Amino acid sequence: MRLKVDHFDIAQIAESGECFRWRKIDDCEYVGVIGNSVCRVKQCDNMVEFDGISETEFRRYFDLERDYSEIQKYYEKDNVLAEAMWCGNGIRILNQDKFETLISFIISANNNIPRIKKSVEALSKGFGKHIEDEFYAFPTPGELARASLDELKACGLGYRNQYVYKTCREIAAGKDLGQIAKLPTELCRKELLKFTGIGPKVADCIMLFSMQKYDAFPVDVWIKRIMESLYFGEERSLNEIARYAKEKFGEYAGIAQQYLFFYVREKELK
């Protein structure tokens, strides 16, 4: 399947830290697992070629119905964001599976992205369904609930094994993420915070990357640093940063956050 796309850069998306299952083939080609499918994406400028999933699913997953130029216009008068948006012009907020995103971001706590990726792959290989070759679907709640504490630790989860162990059992027992996702942002957040291993930052990531809560503004160490450096000029508490950002950036604060996250890490890299 071939599509013309705008504000879309598969490399930026795959490296943006919102997803952990995409693997680089070369500079313009990536392979990832979406649900029970393996999807290959090759991009040359504005043209993408993909297989493995339907066009409808592709458009849904990559948020293609949203006009990102409109969002960028909304933020263009902010000099910091203007530069960040120029840097990560092809970033999009993915529409990922709720359970996979929830578990992945529990694992992300006090962790680094390469290791998070390894852990998510290990969980998939150990407890998910085989798709093809070396690709495995992320386990369902029931499948993951079969893993023992030691098996989870063996997937590289470290002390987070207990968080995953407890939380996936609650969800396998009937807690409905679909219902939680229907709640308005603040109530949704409150429900997510009841799970073990989910604090403010992780809850915001789950809402932003799998529940279409674009006003959620996750504050991690990178966002804290760039906000303190470019907006405050001094140290601020996590709560204060989140409050300020949601006020300043409004209903798409989460998208602004993702531009900032990509930008600060891109600068760090060179």
Partner DNA sequence: TGCCAGGGCGCCG
Partner DNA sequence: CGGCGCCATGGC
Q: Binding residues for DNA, per CB under 7 A?
A: 16-18, 105, 108-116, 118, 153, 156, 158-159, 163, 193, 195-203, 205, 218, 220-223, 237, 239, 257-258, 261
Give the span between the Cα atoms of 146 and 114, in whole angstroms: 25
Minimum CB–partner distance for residue 200 and DNA (Å): 5
* Burial of residue 226, with CB atoms counted within 10 A of its CB: 0-12 exposed, 13-18 middle, 19 or more buried: buried
- Return the number of the residue (114 or 184) whose C-beta is nearest DNA: 114
Minimum CB–partner distance for residue 197 and DNA (Å): 5
- Return the number of the residue (42 or 117) whose C-beta is nearest DNA: 117
Minimum CB–partner distance for residue 170 and DNA (Å): 12
Neighbouring-strand partners of residue 26: 29
Minimum CB–partner distance for residue 122 and DNA (Å): 10
Give the span between the Cα atoms of 223 and 78, in whole angstroms: 16
User: Which tokens go with 239?
Assistant: 């709560």
- Return the number of the residue (52 or 202) whose C-beta is nearest DNA: 202
User: Which tokens go with 143?
Assistant: 């499948």
- Return the number of the residue (51 or 199) whose C-beta is nearest DNA: 199
Of 147, 193, 199, nearest to 168 by C-alpha is 147
- Return the number of the residue (135 or 261) whose C-beta is nearest DNA: 261
CA angle 262, 268, 269 (to 5 degrees): 90
Minimum CB–partner distance for residue 108 and DNA (Å): 4
255 sits in the region (left: phi over 0; alpha: psi -120 to 50; else beta) called: alpha
